[in-house]
Chain A
Amino acid sequence: MKIPATKYPVERFTLDNGLRVVLTPDRSAPVVGVAVVYDVGIRSEPEGRTGFAHLFEHLMFQGSENLEKLAHFRHVQGAGGSFNGSTHLDYTDYFEVLPAGALERALFLEADRMRGPRLTEENLRNQVDVVKEEIRVNVLNRPYGGFPWLRLPPVMFETFANAHDGYGSFGDLDHATVADAEEFFDKYYASGNAVLAVAGDFDVAQATVLIERHFGDVQARSKPDLPDFAEPDLSGERRESYVDRLAPLPAVASGYRIPDPIGQFEQYLPYVVLAEVLTDGDASRLVERLVQRDRTVTSVGGYIGFMGDEYQVRNPTAMLLQAHLPPGGDADKVLRTIDEELDRLATGGLTPGELARTQARMATHLLRDTDAVLGRALPMAVLEAQRGRPELLNELPRLVGEVTEAQIVAAAATLRPERRATIEVVPGANQ
């Protein structure tokens, strides 16, 4: 089946203060998506301040130069829109989706907090409490909390940047100060370290005028140097386990280092496809073998980047395979079978049609995501921030379709046990 592509237009410009702007108009529905991405994430937070990038994301919603606490939420939702933000390893995003007539309001709100959030002691303490509740909901009060995204990096990596808990310890969160927040804002939230993307129903010329009106006078500050987070590959297999007192069944996840997603994009892309060949649907290699034939796992997934954002992550990153096991399941056996299947792929190649059907399904996923205005604005903003190439979003279905069998086979051959880091969940509930 021929892989179709999208042709979303891409207009780019840079304001005098260094803010990069990406516009991608599409009049098919009367809605707009606005995304602002700052080129700072979990990997850049200071030692002793685990969880700070995420905590700071919360503070960006707590009022700004012209807006009281709560005003941001009320103005977005009172315009009929929705909002959110999220903190990733290599970036932090803020976004709104609104009826088209609210575009200028969204630009005003984003510009206002880019000029300066209201960093007060009261708001900081309130949001430390809220973040702790978020950690309780997502990690501490539920089975498999933080598995594997918080649990695997410390097994796999050595440096603080790559290995630490991005949600943060309660101790570090409690000790965060307004001065820390001011310093973090000054250093990382400069307009030159940000990208604004707008997608959906608007006129480019009009939007350009509005963007200049609202963002043009955001004061320019120097942009921080981007650190190199690289560290050497594993020299031997690593394996750790922990008891999850809430989990009733075992689980296991392994990570393997893969090429630089940006500097070596051509070598990297085959791993993205390989993850799908291995785990996308009942006809994929590992689902067929582990779930259906051997019944040694109840589910298995494969993806790249600890947060599943394969086109929005920098080096170093990993390809992850994770599985949930039945009662009494044997993680060693599962890992041995994975090795066997990777060997089979590396030596025997793919079956006829296997690659093409995987690529077709990947195209559907890529196109489906871009149907939503934020599904264009957000990735384009990150692609601009990290690569200067927002139009890559249009090209991905085709590029995925051009990955060859030889590349998949070569990629599979690199996934050796001695390059693997593994974390195992030992069930602690009902035992």
Chain B
Amino acid sequence: MSVRPLPDLIPDTKLKLPKQAERTLSSGLTVIAIRRPAVPLIEMRLRVPFGRAPLARATLLSQALFTGTATMSSIDIAAELQSVGGGLSAGLDPDRLLVTGNSLAGGLDRMLEILAGVLSDPTYPAEEVATERDRLADHIQVAQTQPAHLARTALLQRVYGRHPYAVQTPEAEQVKGVRPAQLRALHADRVRPQGAVLVLVGDLNPEKAIDSAEKALSGWIGPSRDGNVPPTPELEPGPLLLVDRPGAVQSSLRMALPAVTRTDPDYAALQLANMVFGGYFSSRWVENIREDKGYTYGPHSSIEHFVAGSSLVVAAEVATEVTGPAMLETLYELGRIASLPPGEEELEQARRYALGTLRLGMSTQAGLAGLASIYASFGLRLDYLREHSAALASATREQVAEAAARYLAPSAAVTVVLGDADKVEAPLAALTAVERSE
């Protein structure tokens, strides 16, 4: 019993969406501009459809995008951006090429001009591409010694099989074979405005910012190739896949479970079921394997969305000696949430957390830009925040229990463990069928 009472919460005010504007240009590029003037800056996100692009070339293209244009060297690009407090970088996921940028508010036009040059007039100079190619190959080599990367690679392979999502990082050797001419060809083929979405957020007037983008990007035109990825396959549960990492002092536990898209009627209930299980710190699984048993530092489970399908991923790094017991508790907690309805109070707590984090996520320029850009690549807009909040607020205990039974049952899981196989195989085999990876 508390001697001092816990203060009440003052109920949240109605969710207020910021002022925004949207326009699809004749090139097929959609521009969304959102005003949040708290600091005199602009955040920019551009997502270009890139599904089924050849992986090694696409990955190197994302690293070499800023190596030069007809009028600027890589150093000119960096220096000119810097002079308006700006910076641009690029990355790749299995569906999109993502260009991220930010600058001082007064630098918007200049940043857009430089972006336009990079998009419509890139040269991929041989020397600079060679530098980026070697760096990328080295970074891949380092990534391949990171347990988290190795475990994810094994899980993706096991989950997606022959689907394009199965391999998301190229081999260093494949990258080394990519030539600048191939980057130019891929760029001409795929870095196109059709279906791309540019998001601008910050200290701006939305209509004027879109005018600026329209003017700067008027020369970026041309049709894009269809980048649609086929739907992801159903999960096929089977024996636990054990990947050997001799001498590892920890094991990386990974499980994939089925999930649904953000617009599915089950989504809010599934999100809440995942929270109660392991989706935040105050969840059963985290309280069990970290705060009660001390097996792990940062376990987490989350729903991952790709354009062609969603999945729920459970992940923990645990000491080698407790790999079996940690797996036991994980299976126990999955079984418990799938079999018994959550308690009233723990569901309310998860619900308030889910609603609160939506608000926190949109409280900065960078957060808003990220949300708006991710939603847009799934055909959604910021008003989805309002719809999803309503769905979270109204999901019942029965609906959450149903979602848990349907999606979180341990029998549906695909499981991969990376660790010292000679030490962890027997304890894992006591719980489930185990198959060693080749």
Q: Count A interface residues, CB 8 Å.
A: 86
* Nearest CB of chain B from residue A217's CB, rounded to whole Å: 10
CB atoms of B282 and A73 under 8 A apart: yes
A6 close to B (CB within 8 Å):
yes
CB atoms of A140 and B360 under 8 A apart: no
CB atoms of B41 and A368 under 8 A apart: yes
Binds B, one of A227-235, A333-341, A350-358, A380-388: A350-358
B430 close to A (CB within 8 Å):
no
Residue-wise, chain B 322-336 has the 8 Å CB interface mask toward A (1 for contact) of: 000000000000000
Q: Which residues from chain A contact B294 at a C-beta distance below 8 Å?
A: 125-130, 133
Contact for B356 among A98, A112, A136, A144, CB less than 8 A: A98
A26 close to B (CB within 8 Å):
yes
CB atoms of A101 and B82 under 8 A apart: no
Q: Which residues from chain B contact A357 at a C-beta distance below 8 Å?
A: 79, 82-83
* Nearest CB of chain B from residue A109's CB, rounded to whole Å: 9
The answer for the CA separation of A109 and B106 in the assembled complex, in Å, is 42
CB atoms of B9 and A361 under 8 A apart: no
* Nearest CB of chain A from residue B216's CB, rounded to whole Å: 18
Q: Chain A: which residue is nearest B144 at the CB level?
A: A248
A172 close to B (CB within 8 Å):
no
CB atoms of A132 and B319 under 8 A apart: yes
A120 close to B (CB within 8 Å):
no
CB atoms of A73 and B281 under 8 A apart: yes
CB atoms of A143 and B317 under 8 A apart: no
B230 close to A (CB within 8 Å):
no
Given that A80-B352, A248-B145 are known contacts, is A136 also in contact with B85, CB under 8 Å in the complex?
A: no
CB atoms of A281 and B142 under 8 A apart: no
CB atoms of B349 and A133 under 8 A apart: no
B22 close to A (CB within 8 Å):
no
* Nearest CB of chain A from residue B362's CB, rounded to whole Å: 8
B61 close to A (CB within 8 Å):
no
CB atoms of B131 and A295 under 8 A apart: yes
Binds B, one of A151-159, A187-195, A370-378, A415-423: A370-378
Contact for B353 among A77, A128, A245, CB less than 8 A: A77
CB atoms of B38 and A28 under 8 A apart: yes
CB atoms of A1 and B11 under 8 A apart: no
Given that A77-B282, A367-B41 are known contacts, is A133 also in contact with B145, CB under 8 Å in the complex?
A: no
Binds A, one of B112-120, B133-141, B178-186: B133-141
Interface residues of A in 93-126 (CB under 8 A from B): 97-102, 104-105, 107-108, 112, 125-126
* Nearest CB of chain A from residue B267's CB, rounded to whole Å: 19
Residue-wise, chain B 50-90 has the 8 Å CB interface mask toward A (1 for contact) of: 00000000000000001000000011111101111111000
Q: Which residues from chain A contact B6 at a C-beta distance below 8 Å?
A: 75, 105, 108
Given that A143-B142, A143-B146, A356-B83 are known contacts, is A29 also in contact with B363, CB under 8 Å in the complex?
A: yes
* Nearest CB of chain A from residue B251's CB, rounded to whole Å: 9
B364 close to A (CB within 8 Å):
yes
B343 close to A (CB within 8 Å):
no
Residue-wise, chain A 269-307 has the 8 Å CB interface mask toward B (1 for contact) of: 000000000001111100010011001001100000000
Interface of A is mostly: mixed
Q: Which residues from chain B contact A46 at a C-beta distance below 8 Å?
A: none
Among B16, B39, B81: residue with most chain A CB under 10 A: B39
Contact for B11 among A101, A125, A280, A360, CB less than 8 A: A101
A81 close to B (CB within 8 Å):
yes
CB atoms of B138 and A292 under 8 A apart: no
CB atoms of A99 and B85 under 8 A apart: no
Binds A, one of B153-161, B253-261, B295-303: B295-303
Interface of B is mostly: mixed
CB atoms of B353 and A80 under 8 A apart: yes
B128 close to A (CB within 8 Å):
yes
The answer for the CA separation of A388 and B133 in the assembled complex, in Å, is 49
Contact for B84 among A1, A78, A129, A370, CB less than 8 A: A1
CB atoms of B290 and A130 under 8 A apart: yes
Q: Which residues from chain B contact A247 at a C-beta distance below 8 Å?
A: 142, 145
Given that A66-B2, A142-B146, A248-B141 are known contacts, is A364 also in contact with B352, CB under 8 Å in the complex?
A: no
The answer for the CA separation of A291 and B84 in the assembled complex, in Å, is 24
Among A2, A31, A75, A364: residue with most chain B CB under 10 A: A364
CB atoms of A97 and B40 under 8 A apart: no
A48 close to B (CB within 8 Å):
no
The answer for the CA separation of A132 and B78 in the assembled complex, in Å, is 42
Given that A1-B84, A108-B4 are known contacts, is A371 also in contact with B365, CB under 8 Å in the complex?
A: yes
CB atoms of A133 and B282 under 8 A apart: no
Contact for A79 among B9, B103, B145, CB less than 8 A: B9
Given that A29-B363, A282-B75, A364-B41 are known contacts, is A67 also in contact with B2, CB under 8 Å in the complex?
A: yes
Q: Which residues from chain A contact B144 at a C-beta distance below 8 Å?
A: 248
CB atoms of B356 and A353 under 8 A apart: no
Closest 9 CB pairs of A and B: A80-B356, A129-B294, A101-B10, A282-B78, A364-B85, A78-B349, A283-B78, A283-B79, A29-B363
- Pick 18 A–B contacts, CB within 8 A, sort by A: A28-B37, A29-B359, A30-B13, A70-B282, A100-B10, A104-B10, A131-B297, A141-B249, A142-B148, A283-B82, A292-B131, A298-B134, A327-B138, A360-B83, A361-B82, A361-B85, A364-B103, A368-B102
What 5 additional pairs, Cβ within 8 angstroms, besides A1-B104, A67-B2, A133-B317? A31-B359, A77-B353, A130-B297, A134-B297, A367-B104
